[in-house]
Each structure stands twice: as structure tokens, then as C-alpha cells.
Amino acid sequence: MSRRFSLAALTLSLLIAIPRIAFASSHAQAGSVSPLDNPNMLFAVTFGAFLIIVIVLGVVFSLLARFVSKFFSRNVPSDAEMAAFSAEQAAELKAAGATPRKIVITPRSEPFVISAIGFIVVFAITSVVVHPGAPKGEAAAQAPAAAANVLPTTGDFAKIVAGLPKGNPDNGPKLFSSMGCIGCHSQEKDKRLVGPSFYGLWGRAATRKPNYSAAEYIYESIVLPNAYVVDSYPSGVMPQTFAKQLTPQDMADILAWIERDHNEK
């Protein structure tokens, strides 16, 4: 009886964990349209289906356990024989001066211990294998959007700059401070910090590289700081991550601000 109850308890643990696996492989995770895209409806249907399966399996296992019990009952000692054997063992241990070990897990607690272990194991496995999150369709739609916010570092910079949104120069000073530019670049004439001053930057940028406009040169200098290093200034100092940190709108705002406020000749 105890063994069958243990099996039933372990099966119940599987019943609790299986809907998580079913949801992970459902239409809701695949991104297709289905009435079962509602997680609550999907869970109810999945729970009901597996409940029926577990009941059927419970009956089958119960019949199988009864058959096995009857088959082996002929060779299993009776309760009286087991009691006598236990008493004999206890007497021998006492005569030898040994202390009988205390039984921690009793037949009554065994089903609960087995079910607890089974639930922990199954829950741990499903937690590792199943990763709840946005449906695959949504994840696929979000990937191009994330990629669109990354500033290109190769290609025709003239087309890239032309494709930027309209810049708001009023946001330039905010980005200049928040991105840390203020710590390495001055905005005053002839005041040198780590990098060149922004004073007159727009005018100088137009003369730095052949066939490069001021906007193209400044864009390249931000996303690829080592592409052109001004004489007497160190290379490899400026962060190389602005292409991922700045959005196209940020870049457009910075360019618009430099053109408006740092276009001294």
C-alpha cells in the first residue's frame, strides 16, 4: 500500500510540473495564432488532459502493483515473522552493546519524502530546460528593432548620415555630459584636455579627411575613434562602444548641436 501511495504521490508531482513543458512547446511559444495563445486557457486544457492521463495511468499502475504484490506474496515473510526477526536482531545488538540506529524515514513518511524529492527534481529540470518569456514571434520581431538602434560602423557614411533622423541641437549638451564626453573634451578655444576641444569642431571636421563632410567625419570619429587620430593626441583612449550606446536620434542630436554651437571658423 505504501509503495502504491508513493507512486501516486510522484505522479502528482509530475502532474504539477508537466504543464510548464506543455506551455513551452505550445502555439503561444511558437508565435502562431491559436485559441490556446491565452496562457490561462492553455494551462486549463493542458491540466485537464494530463489529469485524465494520470488517472488512467494510476488505475493501470494500481492493477499492476496488485498483481506484483500477489505474485511475490508467497515468498515474502509474514508480519509475525518480520516482527520476530526484528526482535531477534534487537536482542543481538543489545547483547553486543551496540545502539540500534534510529529510523529517520518511516513507512508512513516514505510517500511524502519520495513525492517531495520527485517534485524538486522535476521542477529543477523544467526550470533549466523551459525558459518562460515572450513568444518566439514577438522575440523575432524585437530582434530587428534592436538591431536598427545600433549605429553602423561600416559602409557609405554619406548615406548613413543622410539617413539619420532630424536632429535636435538642444539635446546635444545633455548627451555631451551623460555620455562622459565632458571629461575628455573642452568646449573652450585652445583648452586641451585628453582629446581635442569642441571649439570650432564643425569647421575643422570638414578639412580632416578628403571627400568627408563635417558630419561624416564626426560620425566616424564617434563610432570608430581610431579611424583617424589627430596629431599629438593619443589613440585607443576614447571608448569604442558608442555605436551600441547611442541611438540614431542621439547621433543626429549631437551632430545638430555641434553644427549650431561649435561652427566657429
pLDDT digits (tens, 9 = 90+) for 63-99: 777 776 676 666 666 667 767 767 777 777 777 766 6
Q: Which three cell numbers stand for residue 138?
A: 514577438
Q: How confident is the model at residue 9 (pLDDT cuts 50, 70, 90)?
A: low
Domain limits, CATH 1.10.760.10, in the chain: 157-261
pLDDT digits (tens, 9 = 90+) for 174-214: 999 999 999 999 999 989 999 999 999 999 999 999 999 99
d(CA 12, CA 29): 25
Measured from the Cβ of residue 80, the count of other Cβ atoms closer than 10 Å reads 8
Report the amino acid identity of residue 74.
R
Query: What does the mean pLDDT of the chain come to?
Result: 76
d(CA 202, CA 217): 9
Report the amino acid identity of residue 168.
N
Q: With 90 as the cut, is the pLDDT of residue 107 above it?
A: no
Q: What pTM does this model have?
A: 0.48
Q: Judge contact between 259 and 169, C-beta under 8 A.
A: yes
Q: Judge contact between 251 and 191, C-beta under 8 A.
A: no
d(CA 20, CA 206): 60
d(CA 105, CA 117): 13
Q: What percent of the chain has pLDDT over 90?
A: 39
Q: Which CATH superfamily is 157-261 part of? A: Cytochrome c-like domain (1.10.760.10)
Report the amino acid identity of residue 173.
P
